[in-house]
Structure 1
Amino acid sequence: MKHAYFASLLKRYLHDDCTQGEAWTVDQWYEARDMPRPAPATPAEQAATKARVWQQIQARTRPRPAAWRTPQFRWAAAALLALGLGLGGRVLSPRRLALAPAVATIAPPTVRIRAAGGWLTCTNPTAQTAPLTLNDGSTVLLQPHSRLHYPQRFDGAERVVTLQGEAFFQVFHNPSRPFRVLTDKIETVVLGTSFTVRAFPGQPDAAVMVRTGRVRVRPRPNSHGLATRPGPGLVLRPNQQVVYSPQLRELRPELIDEPTLLQTQPLTFDERPVAEVLATLQTSYGVPIRYDGATLATCTVSLGFVPAQSLFDKLDLLCQTLGASYERADETIIFRSRGCQTE
């Protein structure tokens, strides 16, 4: 672990000003090595304890598990952070944007629904999200200043709705009757999933963000000079999004700005290979993470991730511990490290 990060974390730990994950990391280093139980009271005693623990650290090569200790022994625990592995590198901070909420709000009374010819048009001129339930059991969260045109009853081979604005869809699974969302720029085809479509009139771009399942996105035919028959489109998977610009006529997948946890599994690691930590995060979020396996072959780490932490918060903590870095590249994450050594 880098000494600069150790000094910063030590200071915050001793002042109870670190996250649960960072505190767990400090305590876990202490527990794994079963160090003595100093309880310094004065600055002089603290300095002496710190020096003594450093000497003990240098004499130890193999950790062994022990029971949890109380917070009064934090000086010894924090000093053990010096056994961390890794070399230099900076942590890259990804941008943060949110996917549409999964919990419906109460529909405001001013939402307007107009019926004509077996079709309904719901307009939401308010500043609140409006929940709708379609005939097939699918649900929609219609965002402010948006409009959805849909049939009172889905009778055909396909379920088709038309959107102006933004909405979050949770589609009832029915493989024999695909669900299609049409906008002026793109169409989105699904069998059973949850996703957001954003396509406001007058805005140059349209976007689709997938929470669960898979969707196929392609440009609308006969719009903006496109051919009558569009191509096969692009398949999006969980935690992916695509932004389509008619000017560029390009569909490129990328990560959504706040990936959702897809699989719940233990996210605490005690002297585990870094490659195992990355593989667990990749499985938990369905996000490909690329790294150099040979470089990380000797890297181990003790970490505890808090469920409320985002994927990028978890990666930030891992990078700070190792002195590594990462970056987003389309729909993948590239993790970089110069290797590990005991400092």
Structure 2
Amino acid sequence: MSRAAFHLLLDRYLEGKCTEEEKRVVEELYGMLDKEGLEEINPREINTIEQKLWDRIHTDISTGAEPLPKTQGVRLWRWTAVAAAIAGFCLITGYLFFKEQEVRPQFITASFSNDIKEQINFDAKPKKVSFEDGSYVILEANASIKYPSRFLKDKREVVLDGTGFFQISPDAARPFLVYSKEVVTKVIGTSFQVRANAGDAETEVIVKTGKVAVSPVFSRLDLVDNILGHTKEVILTPNQKTIFKAADHSFEQSLVPDPEPLAVNDKTEVKDLFSFNDAPLAEVVATLKKTYGIDFRIEDQSLLDNTFTGDLTDQNLYHKLDFLCEAVKASYEVSGTTIIIKPKK
């Protein structure tokens, strides 16, 4: 976190461009620093004060010290006091790492208490649960889902515990949000799987069709990240998955173990698609990319001089790549969500 970012936030505050939440955070910082007698400080001492506060911040965070009590927001009368508060912003940030407060879905409130449904799959067989908009989830064993009998006008929210495969009805005006322990998955219309078992330290989201955005469950810590321009959101497309690690609030994005074709109408079309006769390597790779929605990269352009003849219809993606690379004397590796084709060593 840079001090330049703090100054940018402060400039927005002084210009009246902050959101109410950002304004409240800045004013709380001023309240925390108000007891330090900052109103008497000479502007020439600002850098020294900032450095001292910076040192204190690292001391408080490393020792796990409790933050100073919050005070009522007060108007920032002097530039010197406000400027000194910049460094204090990091104190709030450090504190929030220890005191995150999750924001629950809107329907999980007292006003909706009589409108909440819950389904639990006690059987070994998958259980289908349908929602009022035509969407549904298939719950694996021991998984549960909470949802309102009717969704809100501007969004559709559910809470999942365990593993569930969702098929979502498209509705651009009402995004569908799945809250699952550590992350929230936001979609408009797609199919995907979420695995969020209570005993696990990780949450996994796998996309089959469409596109989803996955982010940590909203908290005040995420507000700070957004202020500083550090968003923790990943976008997933078909055949991609992400694992959210609660220990360090990080996402690990990769391909699914067995990627499937995005949309194939019939077997004849598949055979026509993957039966090649002296086809340039670039053409074969382009066909794979279009069929599976996966990004391919050819590391050495000299490989493009090769052609391929063969029928790859009945193989899965990785077997297709094995045959292709063997024919053109190449190899491949999966890096994140990209497949890299390179000369064989």
Q: Normalised by the size of structure 2, how large is the TM-score?
A: 0.61
Q: Does 1:301 align with 2:308?
A: yes
Q: Give the 5 Å matches for 1:58-69.
A: none
Shift of 1:248: 2.2
Preserved contact between residue 216 and residue 232 of structure 2 (Cα < 8 Å): no
Preserved contact between residue 263 and residue 283 of structure 1 (Cα < 8 Å): no
Q: Which runs of 5+ in 1 are unaligned?
A: 1-114
| CA deviation vs aligned residue, 1:154-207 (integer Å, no higher than 9, x gap) | 133110000000100010000000100001200000000000111000200001
Q: Does 1:331 align with 2:337?
A: yes
| CA deviation vs aligned residue, 1:199-253 (integer Å, no higher than 9, x gap) | 000200001111111101000123xx94456636111111111100011211232
Q: Give the 5 Å matches for 1:1-343.
A: 117-222=114-219, 226-228=221-223, 231=231, 233-264=233-264, 265=269, 266-292=273-299, 294-307=301-314, 309-337=315-343
Give the SS at the match of 1:135: coil
Question: 157-166 or 244-253, which moves further after superposition?
Answer: 244-253
Report the Cα distance in structure 2 between the residues aligned to 1:215 and 1:206, rounded to whole angstroms.
Answer: 15
Give the SS at the match of 1:302: strand
Shift of 1:298: 2.0
Report the Cα distance in structure 2 between the residues aligned to 1:165 and 1:332, rounded to whole angstroms.
Answer: 29
Identity of aligned residues (%): 33
Report the Cα distance in structure 2 between the residues aligned to 1:116 and 1:125, rounded to whole angstroms.
Answer: 24
Give the SS at the match of 2:172: coil
Report the Cα distance in structure 2 between the residues aligned to 1:283 and 1:248, rounded to whole angstroms.
Answer: 35
Report the Cα distance in structure 1 between the residues aligned to 2:296 and 2:145, rounded to whole angstroms.
Answer: 37
Give the SS at the match of 1:156: coil
| CA deviation vs aligned residue, 1:259-292 (integer Å, no higher than 9, x gap) | 1101435111001111211111011000011104
Preserved contact between residue 327 and residue 333 of structure 1 (Cα < 8 Å): yes
Shift of 1:303: 1.2
Preserved contact between residue 131 and residue 141 of structure 1 (Cα < 8 Å): yes
| Aligned amino acid, residue 235 of structure 2 | V
Preserved contact between residue 299 and residue 340 of structure 2 (Cα < 8 Å): no
Question: 272-281 or 247-256, which moves further after superposition?
Answer: 247-256
Preserved contact between residue 157 and residue 177 of structure 2 (Cα < 8 Å): yes
Preserved contact between residue 239 and residue 256 of structure 1 (Cα < 8 Å): yes
Report the Cα distance in structure 2 between the residues aligned to 1:123 and 1:276, rounded to whole angstroms.
Answer: 48
Q: Normalised by the size of structure 1, how large is the TM-score?
A: 0.61
* Aligned residue-pair number: 222
Shift of 1:293: 5.7
| Aligned amino acid, residue 123 of structure 1 | I
Preserved contact between residue 207 and residue 237 of structure 2 (Cα < 8 Å): yes
1:104 aligns with none
Larger relative contact order (CA 8 Å, sep ≥ 6): 1
Preserved contact between residue 221 and residue 229 of structure 1 (Cα < 8 Å): no
Report the Cα distance in structure 1 between the residues aligned to 2:249 and 2:113, rounded to whole angstroms.
Answer: 35
Give the SS at the match of 1:296: helix
Q: Which runs of 5+ in 2 are unaligned?
A: 1-111, 226-230
Root-mean-square deviation (CA, aligned residues, Å) is 2.0
Report the Cα distance in structure 2 between the residues aligned to 1:116 and 1:146, rounded to whole angstroms.
Answer: 21
Shift of 1:132: 1.6
Report the Cα distance in structure 2 between the residues aligned to 1:148 and 1:226, rounded to whole angstroms.
Answer: 26
Preserved contact between residue 168 and residue 189 of structure 2 (Cα < 8 Å): yes
| Aligned amino acid, residue 238 of structure 2 | P
More helix by share: 2
Preserved contact between residue 295 and residue 338 of structure 1 (Cα < 8 Å): no
| CA deviation vs aligned residue, 1:119-173 (integer Å, no higher than 9, x gap) | 2100012111111211100021111110000111113311000000010001000
| CA deviation vs aligned residue, 1:97-120 (integer Å, no higher than 9, x gap) | xxxxxxxxxxxxxxxxxx961121
